[in-house]
Structures are given as structure tokens and as C-alpha cells.
Amino acid sequence: MPLQNIRFQPGVNRENTSYTNEGRWYECDKIRFRQGLPEKIGGWQRISVSTFQGVCRSLWNWITLGSQNYIGLGTNLKFYIENGGGYNDITPLRATVTLGANPFETTVGSSIVEVTDAAGGYIDGDFVTFSGATAVGGIDADTLNQEYQITLSGATTYTIDVGTAATSSATGGGATVDAAYQLNVGPAFNIPLTGWGASSWGSGTWGIGSTSTEALRLWSQSNFGEDLIFGHRGGDIYYWDATSGLATRGVELSTLAGASNVPSVQNFITISDVSRFVFAMGCNDLGTATQDPMLIRWSDQENAVNWTPAATNQAGSVRLSRGTEIITATQSRQEILVWTDAALYSLQYQGAPIVWGAQLVGENISIASQNAVAYANGVAYWMGNDKFYRYDGRTQPLRCDLRKFIFDDFNHQQFAQVVAGTNEAYHEVWWFYCSADATQNDRYVEQ
């Protein structure tokens, strides 16, 4: 019997059974198809021996005027700038307070020190740096005057682990101890609804007083020239000045000279490439602190701190109408694409008096998460709640022979973890997601 060359069609198809899928690949892992044949995908390479704290949810790369290559890196615990393999903590401060006299209490033989701070505002896992403390219980001042992660122990107290056992039980530390608190930490993963608010019990008045769902910490960031503007979802807008150096923390944008009506809360930040407007998506309106999840505001052109509309500048705002909240945005060639949870809009610069106009370019769509969009070669690709999409001037579903397999085995409580990326070397778009029984990304699909 003569040999016969059997060629399988490239790609994986799980829309049919393995029997009806004759002549095609049904299951594979860590391979790509090149010239119609499967090829093993290579592994990952670690970029640095250094480590950072928390789960990373945002990366942004840019180069300064001094040719320094930086990567902004936001985790659920901190915000870093990576440079030369080192991770530099630039997490902004939430508050700096002077504690009451002798705020430290030690226990003989233990490295755990209890701290009293009646000012509050801190939560479990926050980071604090002390200064001005004096020795207590055999623990010297240099040991106390450092950064620590706190563990709540009472309404006005928390503990820190100083790493050195106290030689006596004592209360002390001095009369002028300053505590600099960094931004409150956020969850690494979505925390499901529990208690009386879970499932159908959350309907009507039964949901009152129940444990609420807390979303994982997501950051957005973009460079304004050589500087960085960043913020986490539901938080303030922060600014990091590259000329001040890597030892300098980010600060609230509203504290810079000339700041006027900077949004105090937002869900996503982006910056237009050429005209350099700073955009805050899902922010508070002018004159109010109430967050509007469908409102877009932008600063004056070339001025990141002036957000007050006037006849002499181009600051302004627009409210989108389709959907309940803005999820994400990305800069394309001649427009800024903005996704709500139900539609896709195109923002285009029109000049005064409108400045930026919003046009609906896709409706009755969905998007899985803030990081579910990848942009390559003039086309935006994204994962929705039950299918994939593309936008190249026209919004349309993306064919996927794995659609049923993916979305039938998906942890829908962890949609926010979906992340997309491109591999330009192989013209690929990747999505990482959680399977049904996972609480962190353990699956991928590539196009």
C-alpha cells in the first residue's frame, strides 16, 4: 500500500466533536501554526533578578529625553518604575500624620510592635514609613524609622513586624513620630459577593448591610512627554516627574502649580498622542465630587493641570449615552477608541468650540475587561463576554473556532483579569483568562 501524505488544516477547532472535526486539529497547547504546520512556542525570559510586591495589572513603556528606558508597573499593592532591571517604588502618599506621644508598644521576645494611630484611614495590608521615632523596648530608632506593611489589630491600632525581637515589654517611641501612609492597597483578585447580599438574596432590601463585592486593583497610565500620568480605577490622578529622579514619589495632579478643577476620581486615564490632551474616563463632573461612570473630561491642550473649560482654552467634557460605564480606551491612528460595557465610540479632535466629538461606531457589544484590548496594524481586537471582536473602521465579530470551548469554561467572576497583548514577530494577538475553576489566569487563546 503506497504512503499517503496527510495534511491537517492549520488552527484548532473545538466547535465540533473530535470525530466530526476530521482533518483538523482538535486540541493542542503552547503551539503556533507557521506555513500551515504546528510549531512549539518558546518559553518566557525573566527580565530582572529583582522582584516587586503584589500582582501586576498594568505595564507602560516609554523613553525620556535623557534616553532612559522606563516601564511603569502598577500592582495591587504599589506602583513602580522599572529601569535597568530595578523596581523603584514611586507609590504616592495618601497622608502624613503625627502620631500621639509614645505610639509603639513592644512585647518581650517578640518582633511584633503594636502602633496606635487614632487618625485612621488605613486598611489591612497598607504600607507606612515612620520617621522621628526613638528606641523602645530594645528596638533601636533606625529599625523603627523604616517602611512596614501593617496588619490591623483594633479600631485605632495595627501591628508591624520589625524583624528584631524586643528585649522588654514597653511603650514609647517619642512625642513626635510621623507616619507617612501610601495609597490604600487593593485586592489582587475580584472578591465575590458574600453574606446576605449573595445570589438572589441581594435583591431589594435584603442586600442592605451585606458584604459588597470589591474589584481587583487596576491601573491606567500614559506618558505626558517624558513624565508619567497614572491612577487606579476609582482613584485620583497622579503625576510623576521624570526629572526629579527615581527616588521621588508620584503626587496628586491637583497639587501641581496652576492646577484647576482636576478630576478627583476616575476609572481610566489616557493621553492623545499628537495634541496631548489628558483624558479622564468615568470621572466626576465639574463642581461635584460625585463620580459619573459615563462622563469623559479632558484637560487643556498641552496642559495637564488645567481642566476648567474657558473661551481661552480647550478643556471640556462629553457624556456618552450607550451603556452604564466606560471600561477602557486606546489611541488609534486618527482617533481615540472608547469602550463602554455596551458600545464602542470614536473620539475625534474637531477643534473649538466642540474640541472632541464622540461618534458611535459599535453597539450591542461587550468587553471583558479594561485590559482586554490589543491594537495592531491599525486594527483593535478585543474579547467580549461571549465572543471576540475587531474594529478597523467597522466593528464586527471575530471568527473563533474555540468560542464555545472558551466561554463554556470561564470564571465569569474574574472577567476583570482578562489581559490582551500582541506578538509582532509572529503577527499574533493573545488573550489570557481564568478557566471556570481558577481564580487567576491559567488559560490563553491566540489569534
* DSSP string for residues in 122-139: --TT-EEEEES---BTTB
Q: Which of 4-8, 209-213, 309-313 has the weakest average pLDDT?
A: 209-213
- Work out the average pLDDT over 387-393: 96
pLDDT above 50 (res 204)? no
Q: Between 96 and 34, whose confidence is greater?
A: 96
- Work out the average pLDDT over 343-371: 95
pLDDT attached to residue 43: 82
% of the chain residues with pLDDT over 90: 78
- Work out the average pLDDT over 207-236: 82
pLDDT attached to residue 214: 66
pLDDT above 60 (res 208)? no
- Tell me: the pLDDT tens digits for 271-321? 998 789 999 999 999 999 999 999 999 999 999 999 999 999 999 999 999
Task: Look at residues 402, 404, 410 and name the one whose alpha carbon lies nearest to residue 446.
Answer: 402
pLDDT attached to residue 229: 98
- Tell me: the pLDDT tens digits for 9-65? 787 777 777 777 777 777 888 888 887 788 888 888 888 899 999 999 999 999 999
pLDDT above 70 (res 79)? yes
pLDDT attached to residue 1: 65
Domains, the chain, with CATH or none? 9-40 (no CATH), 56-87+212-246+257-446 (2.130.10), 93-182 (2.40.30.20)
Question: In 10 A of CB 149, how many CB atoms?
Answer: 16
Do the Cβ atoms of 430 and 423 come closer than 8 Å? Answer: yes
pLDDT attached to residue 39: 87
